Amino acid sequence: MPEQPYDEAAVLTFPAGIPGFESATRFVLREPPEYAPVVSLQSIDLDLSFLAVPVGALDAAYSLAVNEEDLRRLGLPTERQPLPGADVLCLALLCAPKTGPATANLLAPLVVNLKSRVAVQAVRSDARYSHQQPLPGDAAC
């Protein structure tokens, strides 16, 4: 359970969980201003949290490729891709290894329907982006 209080209306629901953590379906987004644009996604179900950043902060031209099944799960139209910032919040999970540079997973971003707060990790079927995209600058850990 999150240590800090949270508003139930602010909970993000991942109906299928996050790959590898399928039993963690409810998360709270924490946005400490001192770490902006980095946010923390904290599980309500497990002792688990992830660091993430809006994809637009890493690649202003990022384009989504959400499959039909995930669009349906999100409750979004299947005939077009959602627009980050307008229809969805799109976050890249960060990886900070003990050695080497920090990376972001742009291959499988977290996509959140801004109206319903339902979310998925939308794994792309193409190789346009990497699951270990280097962060801008020399962000060594």
**Which DSSP string do the residues of 36-81 spell out, in sequence order?**
TT-EEEEESSSS-EEEEEEHHHH-TT------HHHHHHHT--SSSP
Report the percent of the chain where pLDDT is more than 70: 94
pTM across the whole model? 0.89
Residue 140 confidence (pLDDT)? 41
Average pLDDT on 113-130 reads 95
Tokens for 24, please give them: 């963690």
The closest alpha carbon to 106, from 69, 39, 60, belongs to 60
Cβ contacts of 69 within 8 Å, gap of 6 or more: none
Instruction: Please write the tens of the pLDDT for every residue from 9-57.
Output: 899 999 999 999 999 999 999 998 999 999 999 999 899 999 999 999 9
